Structure 1
Amino acid sequence: MEAAKETELWHAMRATYRREPDASRLLEKEGLECFIPMQHKITVRKGRRVRVLVPVIHNLIFVRACPSDLQRVKSKAAYLQYITDTRSGRKIIVPENDMRRFIAVAGSYSDQLLYFQPEEVNLSKGTRVRITGGDFEGQEGVFLKVKGARDCRVVIEIQGVIAVAMATIHPDLIEVIR
């Protein structure tokens, strides 16, 4: 009898000591999907201003893999660690839909995106909405006022890990989800 096929899950992980690029290369070499939220920053190199793509939060990496495959890769890289929920102590597993939605937004690497620690945003104060046009058409999130922005933004959260607020979206492109 054949063993049941394990399901691929999105794991929230840390690559300690800013080794997320090493982790990404290792995971891709092993055929595992991963995502590191990145954004452009202006930095000075050799006296010149250059625009570089850097991780939004150092050490953060999301990995899509079967638990056994991830454990096998993890045994080769001690710096790759699971992020656990502080209350339950369980590994943080991100639902597929939430992760796809987050990648659709964060994967644009837009300078207009604002990132927050989960405790910095109170999603219960906002309104659930769907975007009906533009670059993020079809995405769902919570419409609320966030720190560092003059107007309300649509926020997508990865529970307990990170939240991203999109660029200002024209009210005509937002519909309330009941």
Structure 2
Amino acid sequence: MTESGSAQKETPINQIDEHEARWFAVYTGFRKEKRVRDLLQKKGISCFLPLQHHTRIYTRKVKKVSIPLISCYVFVHITKREYVPVLQTEYVLQFVRFKKDLLAIPSAEIDILKRVVGELEVEIEPASLKRGDKVEIIGGQLTGLKGTLESIKGKQKLLIALETLGM
């Protein structure tokens, strides 16, 4: 009971709270992720778009490009008050849901995505590793994360299924 005598209801984890901001994913139009991010930022809405940075080599020039890590999705950190303005944003199609419920994303998962896109290149010794090995990252921005080795591609690339993300 609160001082006014009414019982205060606790908001379920997947619902939007009036006071506490939570992370949600919104589905965007095809190749409109950066535009949606910019429009949300202009509205003062906290959002995150994980980008991969690539160098593209064309016939006459070399160009650096940023490509969304997850196509057609932007993550928003909102309270109930910001729900409708997000939906009214051009190119935002809908919130990601499970059945009829909004699907909140734990802050720890967003933090992992932030670390992934800022990842540094490291050299690995593939001779001692094989597919299916349980591994732990011991250096760089993903230090401490555990997973299963899926594949090795050269001396600087490997694919690890991280236990935390379930990917």
TM-score (norm 1): 0.61
**CA drift at 1:63:** 0.8
Q: Distance in 1 between matches of 2:18 and 2:100?
A: 26
Counterpart contact for 2:27–2:72, Cα < 8 Å: yes
Aligned-residue identity in percent:
18
Counterpart contact for 1:141–1:155, Cα < 8 Å: yes
1:32 aligned residue (15, 39, 45): 45
Q: Distance in 2 between matches of 1:14 and 1:142?
A: 29
**CA drift at 1:46:** 6.7
**CA drift at 1:154:** 6.5
Counterpart contact for 1:128–1:140, Cα < 8 Å: no
Q: Distance in 1 between matches of 2:114 and 2:93?
A: 21
State the one-letter code of the partner of 2:162. Answer: V
- CA displacement, residues 9-52 of structure 1 (integer Å, 9 cap, x when unaligned): 10012111211111111111122221112112232457322221
Q: Aligned ranges for residues 1-178 of structure 1 at < 5 Å?
A: 5-44=18-57, 47-77=60-90, 79-85=92-98, 88-106=99-117, 108=118, 134-136=139-141, 139-147=143-151, 149=153, 153=160, 155=162, 157-158=164-165, 163=167
**CA drift at 1:147:** 4.2
Q: Distance in 2 between matches of 1:128 and 1:10?
A: 29
State the one-letter code of the partner of 2:147. Answer: F
Secondary structure of 1:136's match?
Answer: coil
Secondary structure of 1:153's match?
Answer: strand
4+ runs deviating over 4 angstroms: 109-112, 125-129, 147-152, 156-159
Structure 2 stretches lacking a partner, 5+ long: 5-16, 123-131
Provide the alpha-carbon RMSD of the alignment. Answer: 3.4
Q: Distance in 1 between matches of 2:57 and 2:101?
A: 41
Counterpart contact for 2:147–2:162, Cα < 8 Å: yes
Structure 1 stretches lacking a partner, 5+ long: 113-124, 164-178
For residues 78 and 24 of structure 1, do their structure 2 counterparts lie closer, same or farther at Cα, with a shift above 3 Å needed?
Answer: closer
For residues 142 and 42 of structure 1, do their structure 2 counterparts lie closer, same or farther at Cα, with a shift above 3 Å needed?
Answer: same
**CA drift at 1:65:** 0.8
